[in-house]
Structure 1
Amino acid sequence: MVRCNCGTWILIFLVISPTIFHKSMSELDPRWVAKKRRMSHKVRKMFYHAYDNYMTYAFPHDELKPLAKTFTDSLVELGNLKLEHLPQEYHGSALTLVESLSSLVIMGNNTEFERAVLWLSENLTFDVDARINLFECNIRVLGGLVSAHILATDSTNRLVQRNYKNQLLILAEDLGRRFLPAFDTPTGLPYAWINLKYGVMENETTETSTSGCGSLILEMGALSRLAGDPSFESAALRALRKLWSMRSSLNLLGTTLDVETGEWIEYSSGIGAGVDSFYEYLMKAHILFGRDEFWRMFQPAYLAVQKYFRHGAWYHEADMRTGKATYWQLTSLQAFWPGLQVLVGDITAANSSHREFFSVWERFGVLPERYLLDFQMLHPTEKYYPLRPELAESTFYLYHATKDPWFLEVGETIVDSLNLYTKVESGFASIRDVTTMQWEDHQHSFFLAET
């Protein structure tokens, strides 16, 4: 999964909301007021159905298996498709609780937020023999902790009334320091995998993705600002600058590379898996930190995407060296793009691409992981839907930017589809095959944080 988590997104929202979100006459229409109230009630029920069952059957482990009513300690598996080097003694880091902290505040449940913060303060440790994916742990755990700390110390709300002495920030600093050995490479590009207790493992793979080494600046930059320690931001910024220096003459980047040699492994690129959050983080880092350097990277990169990847309302993949199309496919992770385009101010393009993504959602009931545009068919093996949030996020951005009630209708369709196809007795289950709506026994932590 490759996008910034709810925790970091909350930081971005607080910065941008006064500038691009505005009220319109449609918001005053009693019909739309009633619809939004109805949707809010539905989503609140969904969140607590997922959260309460996680707390009942899985906490303090990482994620809920809603069909078996048990748990999985999945932080060590995120991105680990071959399930290599899995530790036997790892027993979870309350991953879903960490990811849910900001959502609890959105729901107005300050009491549960305080209870969760105090539990994590007293029980969470990263001194564990666990090989984790740097990118996934950064966006989920570090982002969740940093944002929860900001919320916990917000002087206007005082969400944690007692016994809070920056424990979440201390945990975040500890985690950040455990990340730093990953950046000790000749290029400054970080390893994709690191052991939280022992650092980079012997014979560790040197292959990583553009997202994996170019999407760390938000969380690590925020941590540096809060902790007064520049080392986290410096490491992430050095990696980002090195990555940008590796772009082609077309201002395109490939998908995978070697952190030791700085050579590209996969030259085909797009806006989907392996690259997507590189674009997202450049724009959001410019918004959050106000540095022109990030905009000077993002602008030519965005224009290159529009020139070489866009085909009508769709975005195919292309060779970074030539701009020639390689793969014609829609992937569910691409659905973040309309939301990013809203931040850029490219509303017409955002609306166009969003409608195409939603048409695929309507066709199948949810958004399949991969759809082959050139054959107008599902990918033969990637037919699943793991409760991803990207289309919901883009719908949210477009509604608030335009106040077009149609996006409210889309939002309600997404909510109703999730309740119809993925809700089970003890949580929400991923979809293994969108043609049969067969369930997968997994409630991803990002479902509560983002979707």
Structure 2
Amino acid sequence: MAFHLLVLLYLTFFNLSMSQLDSHWAAKRRHMKEKVRQMFYHAYENYLTHAFPHDELKPLTKSFTDSLSQLGNLKLEHLPQDYNGSALTLIESLSSLVIMGNNTEFERGVLWLSENLTFDVDARINLFECNIRVLGGLISAHILATDSANRLVQGSYKNQLLTLAEDLGRRFLPSFDTPTGLPYAWINLKHGVMENETTETSTSGCGSLILEMGALSRLTGDPRYEAAALRSLRKLWSMRSSLNLLGTTLDVITGEWIEYSSGIGAGVDSFYEYLFKAFVLFGKEDYWRMFHSAYLAVQKYFRHGPWYHEADMRTGKATYWQLTSLQAFWPGLQVLVGDIPAANSSHREFVHVWEKFGVQPERYLLDHQMLHPTEKYYPLRPELAESTFYLYQATKDPWYMEVGELIVNSLNLYTKVEGGFASIRDVTTMQMEDHQHSFFLAETCKYLYLLFDDSFLVDRNYIFTTEGHPLPVLSSWHERLPETYIPTNWTFFKVQTQRRKASAMSLQVCPATTLNPIHGDQQVESACHVPDARSDHRCFSHDDCGVDAISCRHRSCSIAGYCGLWLYI
């Protein structure tokens, strides 16, 4: 009797303690959500006051920069005359406004752009940046504005943002007119490719266009945009080495590599991201096959414990042992793949670096355990916040909210000024730089807000672009391009009449070369992808946790009810 009473008292105390803990974290989330909201509006309202309709805010001098046309133009060449900007930060802020529930301001922004924005300007712009920031922002905002479940803009909206997006997409097309199909990195919005334009571009620059241009084709019914991006992506993939690695920079005319060293950071990062997300958004098995091969190569040749160094694409030998801030997106991508332990492992290392310096330095030399001598800056990048959001969604471990709180507090302490939020020029001195990048509102604030309030995602299924713009996953988009837009020289493209190889993502089998009894002798060309936990994100036994996406080892259920959080592989 006494034993049963003790058990009852223990269970009562345990349940009370858990209830108090849940109440504590609910209060913490409300408090942190409000802090992020205040951050966003401090940045947004200062932009509207001091910079709009120019592209970005200079928070220290409370002025502006037309960065869309100035990006990369260190000598400020080819700048348009009598140009007042493209309202870049407003475009980037639209989906964040919806996520924060400000439909009134969203509508006001949509209508202003509908009536005032034009791309008929003599401006030389970077194709990749304009694609992910402007085209992606317009497409996402159009979809949100016309969402049948909750139409955010009433009768005054007549698809003007989609019209603007299509106009911009048409201005992109001349950049793809090369012998290889790989696009120029720079194009003039009014005149097309400039005379003597540089032929050098990056892997990201020509391999990370498929989400925005594919979505534009699906919305307009014009297949040219998706076909151009897909041709570029396939050409790029055909240039991979025998190790399934790609370099960092290449020539769009000759199709030759310029820089053979590669990694998961600057110049390559979003290439991997878009392969996987394109598979989810458009359902083409080809995207998954490419991603699977590329992902395994990254794990084999770049990974060193929780870190990822760079390596020569031809030999796989390490070239640079360095951490770059853009690499912090990788754990978030691994969450989408289902490789939670590996994501957690590398994410914690990025957190340690953040704690060491107060923010994330642009480049950190792993072999010397020191900052890069010149790249000591932090331009308000979102990647660590992004991966933290994804890991919390996958595990519901409150530790990730503590990481989010750390990031929020650091941003307010080191980067907040009267006129907005300033970039950091040197993380050792916290000297500021007069620039508030548009991605601070499009991504950094958005992912931090979603970490503490994910109500926007309830009953919705979105893929976020590399610039943080949500695109809905729609079954109607899971279609092939018309055969007339599929070049005959894509010899590795499998026509529909051929037997289709199975995907382990749907069959949930392992390993990648296992013979599949359902489909005869076909090999499964996919990494393992088994759910990490029950639908409520809590596990009760090891069987609930599935297997690791690469090694196919079974994951363990922790005493706290989370899958593999402390399993380092």
Bin for the TM-score computed over the shorter chain = over 0.9
1:11 maps to: none
**Aligned-residue offset at 1:117:** 0.3
Q: TM-score, normalised by structure 2?
A: 0.74
**Aligned-residue offset at 1:161:** 1.4
Q: Which whole-Å CA distance do the structure 1 matches of 2:91 and 2:389 have between them?
A: 23
Q: Which whole-Å CA distance do the structure 2 matches of 1:252 and 1:435 have between them?
A: 35
Name the amino acid aligned to 1:37: R
Name the amino acid aligned to 2:334: Q
Name the amino acid aligned to 2:362: E
1:345 maps onto 2:310 in alignment: no
1:171 maps onto 2:175 in alignment: no
Q: Which whole-Å CA distance do the structure 2 matches of 1:395 and 1:91 have between them?
A: 37
Which of the numbers 281, 296, 302 marks the counterpart of 2:295?
302
Alignment of 1:141-160 (within 5 A): 141-160=134-153
2:57–2:63 Cα contact (<8 Å) kept: yes
Where 1:450 maps in the other structure, the secondary structure is helix
Larger radius of gyration between Structure 1 and Structure 2: 2
1:26–1:405 Cα contact (<8 Å) kept: no
1:104 maps onto 2:97 in alignment: yes
1:448 maps to: 441
Q: Which whole-Å CA distance do the structure 2 matches of 1:156 and 1:78 have between them?
A: 38
**Aligned-residue offset at 1:290:** 1.2
Q: Which whole-Å CA distance do the structure 2 matches of 1:285 and 1:89 have between them?
A: 39
Change (3 A) 1:174 1:366: same
Q: Which whole-Å CA distance do the structure 2 matches of 1:89 and 1:219 have between them?
A: 29
Name the amino acid aligned to 1:243: L
1:376 maps onto 2:358 in alignment: no
Which of the numbers 52, 67, 79 marks the counterpart of 2:45?
52
2:418 maps to: 425
2:268 maps to: 275
Name the amino acid aligned to 2:404: G
Where 1:137 maps in the other structure, the secondary structure is helix
| Post-superposition CA distance 1:51-88 (Å, at most 9, x none) | 00000000000000111011111101224455443334
2:476 maps to: none
Runs of 4+ in 1 over 6 A off after TM superposition: 25-28
Gaps of 5+ in 2: 1-17, 445-569
2:71–2:126 Cα contact (<8 Å) kept: yes
1:12 maps to: none
2:200 maps to: 207
| Post-superposition CA distance 1:97-117 (Å, at most 9, x none) | 000000000110000000000
Which of the numbers 116, 119, 126 marks the counterpart of 1:123?
116
Q: Which whole-Å CA distance do the structure 2 matches of 1:50 and 1:376 have between them?
A: 34
1:63–1:71 Cα contact (<8 Å) kept: yes
**Aligned-residue offset at 1:27:** 12
Q: Which whole-Å CA distance do the structure 2 matches of 1:379 and 1:77 have between them?
A: 26
Q: Which whole-Å CA distance do the structure 1 matches of 2:232 and 2:21 have between them?
A: 47
Give the aligned CA root-mean-square deviation in angstroms.
Answer: 1.2
2:391 maps to: 398
Q: Which whole-Å CA distance do the structure 2 matches of 1:264 and 1:355 have between them?
A: 34
Where 1:265 maps in the other structure, the secondary structure is strand
| Post-superposition CA distance 1:391-446 (Å, at most 9, x none) | 00000000010001100100010011000100000100000000000110000000
| Post-superposition CA distance 1:258-295 (Å, at most 9, x none) | 00000000000000000000000001111111111100
2:80–2:121 Cα contact (<8 Å) kept: no
Q: Which whole-Å CA distance do the structure 1 matches of 2:183 and 2:113 have between them?
A: 28
Which of the numbers 220, 224, 227 marks the counterpart of 1:227?
220
1:176–1:232 Cα contact (<8 Å) kept: yes
Which of the numbers 279, 283, 290 marks the counterpart of 2:283?
290
**Aligned-residue offset at 1:316:** 0.3
Q: Which whole-Å CA distance do the structure 2 matches of 1:92 and 1:295 have between them?
A: 38
Q: Which whole-Å CA distance do the structure 2 matches of 1:364 and 1:320 have between them?
A: 32
Q: Could you tell me the percent identity over the aligned residues? A: 87
2:232 maps to: 239
1:103–1:448 Cα contact (<8 Å) kept: yes
1:338–1:394 Cα contact (<8 Å) kept: yes
1:99–1:449 Cα contact (<8 Å) kept: yes
| Post-superposition CA distance 1:306-351 (Å, at most 9, x none) | 0000001000000000000000000000000000000000000000
Name the amino acid aligned to 2:235: K
**Aligned-residue offset at 1:31:** 1.1
Name the amino acid aligned to 1:333: L
Which of the numbers 382, 390, 414 marks the counterpart of 1:389?
382
1:10 maps to: none
Q: Which whole-Å CA distance do the structure 2 matches of 1:301 and 1:173 have between them?
A: 32
Change (3 A) 1:82 1:406: farther
Q: Which whole-Å CA distance do the structure 1 matches of 2:259 and 2:427 have between them?
A: 29
1:17 maps to: none
Where 2:125 maps in the other structure, the secondary structure is strand
Aligned length: 427
1:89–1:129 Cα contact (<8 Å) kept: no
